[in-house]
């Protein structure tokens, strides 16, 4: 997936400061897109959600059993002495602590992607002038700081001789992510950020000396 800035649209509003404005707008737009890019989270994977849901249901059933057992003990007066103490041999069921619940039922466990580290999609944003970048990167960048830093470095080299600034992410799952595949970015990354371009332009122009 990719998008580009048509730099001619900036020229009239920025007038003699076009270069400064374009740099600022491009940097703000890059930051918005990278920050909105989902970071893979194995806890949200369907297999893991289903696994934890099943285990939680079993744990909840156990808790319910404990509650019913103890309620039945309380409702039967023969379980108590005249002074109100439990008779010998009658014991309440012990509810599980949070740690015991997790250990016994693995309600927070994972069955897929235990060693997975998210951030490759954020790490694959690339910036270029006039010609779009091809290929993908192996960079893992959960914070997005590396992608933004490298992109800003490219943008700072912009001159008015450049016709187009490209921002590319060539990973094959970029298109599905843009159109709602991730619950972290249901409205996408590029579409919603592009809507803010005019706001970025106004901001850059207002900051001119």
| pLDDT, position 87 | 93
d(CA 76, CA 64): 19
Is residue 126 within a helix (H) or strand (E), and if so which, with residue range?
strand 126-129
Choose among 169, 92, 89, 90: nearest CA to 128: 169
Q: Where do the domains of the chain lie?
A: 2-41+118-206, 43-105
Q: Strands across the sheet with 126-129, in order?
A: 2-6, 164-168, 126-129
pLDDT by 10s per residue, the chain, length 209: 555 555 565 556 666 688 888 899 999 999 999 999 999 888 887 888 999 999 999 999 999 999 999 999 999 999 999 999 999 999 999 988 988 888 889 988 888 878 777 899 999 999 999 999 999 999 999 999 999 999 999 999 999 889 899 999 999 989 998 998 888 888 889 999 999 988 998 888 788 77
CA 106 to CA 98: how far, in whole Å? 11
- Phi, psi of 94, rounded to the nearest 5 degrees: -95, 120
* Residue 9: predicted pLDDT: 56
**CA 37 to CA 202: how far, in whole Å?**
24
pLDDT at residue 38 in the model: 93
If one counts every other C-beta atom within 10 angstroms of the C-beta of residue 103, the result is: 11
Given this model, what pLDDT does residue 37 score? Answer: 95
Strands 2-6 and 126-129, bridge-based pairing = unpaired
Contact 155, 30 (CB under 8 A): yes
């Amino acid at each position: 997936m990719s998008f580009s800035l048509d730099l001619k649209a900036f020229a009239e509003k920025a007038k003699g400061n076009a270069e400064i404005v374009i740099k600022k707008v491009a940097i703000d737009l890059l930051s918005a897109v990278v920050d909105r890019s989902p970071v893979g989270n194995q806890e949200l994977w369907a297999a893991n959600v289903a696994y934890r849901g099943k285990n939680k249901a079993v744990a909840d059933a156990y808790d319910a059993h404990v509650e019913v057992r103890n309620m039945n003990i309380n409702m039967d007066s023969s379980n108590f002495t005249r002074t109100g103490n439990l008779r010998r041999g009658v014991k309440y069921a012990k509810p599980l602590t949070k740690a015991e619940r997790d250990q016994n039922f693995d309600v927070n466990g994972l069955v897929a992607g235990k060693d997975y580290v998210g951030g490759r999609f954020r790490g694959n944003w690339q910036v270029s002038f006039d010609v779009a970048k091809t290929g993908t990167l192996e960079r893992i960048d959960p914070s997005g700081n590396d992608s933004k830093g490298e992109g800003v470095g490219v943008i700072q080299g912009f001159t008015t001789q450049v016709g187009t600034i490209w921002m590319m992410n060539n990973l094959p799952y970029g298109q599905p992510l843009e159109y709602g595949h991730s619950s972290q970015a249901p409205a996408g990354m590029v579409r919603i950020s592009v809507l803010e371009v005019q706001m970025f332009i106004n901001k850059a122009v207002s900051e001119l000396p």
